A and B are shown apart, each in its own frame.
Chain A
Amino acid sequence: MDPIIVALAKAAGLDRALTDFPDDVQAAAEQALNNKTAVRVPEDPAAEPWPPMRAGIGQWGAGHSGAGQ
């Protein structure tokens, strides 16, 4: 197995899975790589993640936010 995968798995605490299910760990690492390369991360530095930070309780308006009442 690729030593980088082994190192990452150990860093994640997956020693037991590495011993008992090495094929699954390898398949998972490859799957993760495929998934992350499918995402076109925005080039605009100001593009914010979803969901936006919202203060108060509940994210859908002041009706349920203590700050708005």
Chain B
Amino acid sequence: MTAPHWLSAAEIAQAYANRTLSPTELMTALLARIEALDPQLNAFIRLDAEAAMRAARDAEADIAAGRHRGPLHGIPVGIKDIIDVAGLPTTCHSQILVDNVAKADAAVVQKLRQAGAIVIGKLSTHEFAIGGPSFDLPFPPARNPWNRDHHPGGSSSGSGAGVAAGLFPLALGTDTGGSVRNPASACGIVGLKPTYGLVSRRGVFPLSFTLDHVGPLTRTVADNALLLDAIAGYDPADPGSAASPARQFGRLLDHGVRGLRIGFVRHFHERDLPAHLDVAAALDEAERTLRDAGADIRPVTLPTLNEFAGINRVILCSEAWSIHAPWLRQRPGDYGQLARRRLLPGAFMTAGDYVGAQRRRTQVIAAVEDALHDVDVLMCASSMDPSSRLDDPEETARTYPRQARTPFNVTGHPAVAMMAGLARTGLPVSVQFVGRYFDEATVLRVAAAYEQAAGWHTRKPPIG
């Protein structure tokens, strides 16, 4: 029998229905696991054990009384600490906001509570979702459960580490240049950046208004669809929110890939940023796996990663500067060095640089849209390297930007990153699937077919 901490949310819901597990039994098991393992992982900034256990008792009573709220009822979820949870600090992992107690839940947290999910605590991030991994912040950096000497990706670091380690089955992260998909890649789990505007950003500390997304991190594709079902939806209080009718994002999970056209963007990892050999081999194997499953895989060419990255950085730095300028002027010493160095470039961007990047953005969006006229889904690398050692900042600085996630922050298309194997070092490597706007269901369909055929989701990190 699977240990409770390794059950997926879907399996937990089934166990609740079968009465083979109760919300309080699960919460007790998870809290014990967190107590034992989190000191080695630093996934949490703030564990809210008392409130979580109280919510588990409430869920147990409701379920027993037949007041069932749906598939996430009584399921624990961790929240990245740039997302507001009423009554808890939203520190953004920074000295700047260390005492910043949220007055209200973010929209996504409201939706999770309506769905009956249980907020278990606030999770480590890079400072303001940009400065990390760092040791000069008020909280230590999260560590990778596959090898605690290595980083777990970021900036949703605690979300990735905690889900992968079985501390909680579900987590929310945010993604401005790849920060949901990076920890998913580094930790061997599933991370989705939805279409821009599908999930409300209300109550999420902004990094870059036109690039920010909230997304789910889970151990299975089916769980990812369940969590997205709960958090998606129009929000008039989010200026970028989209009125999309899309729902039931898991409705195609068992349809396979036979007949689907998948465009493989090979130049990302072969020419633009040549990938580590183990990553390249895993991508070749993923292509074979999907072809064997019946997909029609074709080559696709997009603008270069260097150009996508340049557009992303000019926009991100300009928008982030407009948020952080007052603190950078008055309290530069209260930032860690990485955040300070990554936020200050905005001071040297001109209005013309920003508008120029936004004009080029329109063109690269059109290029990706053109590609998606001819194929149903794109496939490409996520990270070009397995995660580096936390005590090797030079290698981390070299490898962190070697990724193919920022293109889809620039364009706003939905993109999922997931485990595609293990490097010879025992660290996860990954693949990314990208779809048309608001067609998360097809992206997750391909991800589910790959997951079932490849079977990497059954591998667990060597921890506890």
Chain A residues with a Cβ under 8 A of chain B: 5, 8-9, 12-17, 20-21, 24-25, 27-29, 31-33, 35-42, 47-51, 57-61, 63-64
The residue that B361 contacts in the complex, of A14, A38, A50, with Cβ under 8 A, is A50
Chain A proximity mask over B31-74: 1 for CB below 8 Å, otherwise 0: 00000000000000000000000000000000000000000000
- B232 to A: closest C-beta gap in Å: 13
What residues of chain A lie closer than 8 Å to B359, measured between beta carbons?
A: 41-42, 47-50
Residue from A8, A31, A41, A50 with most neighbouring chain B CB atoms (10 Å): A50
**Count of B interface residues, CB-CB < 8 Å:** 46
Chain B residues with a Cβ under 8 A of chain A: 197, 210, 234, 236, 239-244, 306-307, 309-311, 313-314, 317, 325, 328-330, 332-333, 337, 340-349, 353, 355-363, 365
Known: A9-B347, A49-B358. A63 touches B332 (CB 8 A): no
- A59 to B: closest C-beta gap in Å: 7
What residues of chain B lie closer than 8 Å to A38, measured between beta carbons?
A: 306-307, 309-311, 313
What residues of chain B lie closer than 8 Å to A41, measured between beta carbons?
A: 356-357, 359-360
What residues of chain B lie closer than 8 Å to A29, measured between beta carbons?
A: 344-345, 348
Residue from B337, B357, B365 with most neighbouring chain A CB atoms (10 Å): B357
Known: A20-B333, A39-B360, A64-B243. A14 touches B347 (CB 8 A): yes
Residue of B nearest to A64 (CB): B243
- B92 to A: closest C-beta gap in Å: 19
The residue that B243 contacts in the complex, of A8, A12, A13, A63, with Cβ under 8 A, is A63
- A42 to B: closest C-beta gap in Å: 5
What residues of chain B lie closer than 8 Å to A57, measured between beta carbons?
A: 236
- B422 to A: closest C-beta gap in Å: 33
Residue from A8, A20, A60, A64 with most neighbouring chain B CB atoms (10 Å): A60
Docked pose: A29 CA to B348 CA in angstroms: 6
What residues of chain A lie closer than 8 Å to B240, measured between beta carbons?
A: 59
Known: A28-B344, A41-B359. A35 touches B317 (CB 8 A): yes
- A36 to B: closest C-beta gap in Å: 5
Docked pose: A43 CA to B416 CA in angstroms: 33
- B130 to A: closest C-beta gap in Å: 13
- A64 to B: closest C-beta gap in Å: 5
What residues of chain B lie closer than 8 Å to A14, measured between beta carbons?
A: 328-329, 332, 344, 347
B355 contacts A49, CB within 8 Å? yes
- B322 to A: closest C-beta gap in Å: 12
17 A–B contacts from the bound complex (CB under 8 Å): A12-B329, A14-B344, A20-B332, A20-B333, A21-B333, A24-B340, A27-B341, A28-B348, A29-B345, A36-B353, A40-B307, A42-B356, A42-B360, A48-B359, A49-B359, A50-B210, A58-B239
Docked pose: A66 CA to B355 CA in angstroms: 29
Docked pose: A59 CA to B349 CA in angstroms: 27
- A39 to B: closest C-beta gap in Å: 5
A35 contacts B243, CB within 8 Å? no
- A23 to B: closest C-beta gap in Å: 9
Docked pose: A58 CA to B243 CA in angstroms: 8
Residue of B nearest to A21 (CB): B332
What residues of chain A lie closer than 8 Å to B363, measured between beta carbons?
A: 42, 47
Known: A24-B344, A47-B363. A39 touches B332 (CB 8 A): no
What residues of chain B lie closer than 8 Å to A47, measured between beta carbons?
A: 359, 362-363
- B368 to A: closest C-beta gap in Å: 12
B314 contacts A39, CB within 8 Å? yes
- A43 to B: closest C-beta gap in Å: 10
What residues of chain B lie closer than 8 Å to A8, measured between beta carbons?
A: 347-348
> Beyond the given A13-B329, A17-B329, A60-B244, could you list 17 further A-B residue pairs with CB under 8 A, ordered by the A residue number?
A8-B348, A9-B347, A14-B328, A16-B329, A17-B332, A24-B337, A24-B340, A25-B344, A31-B313, A38-B309, A39-B360, A41-B357, A49-B359, A58-B239, A58-B243, A61-B243, A64-B236
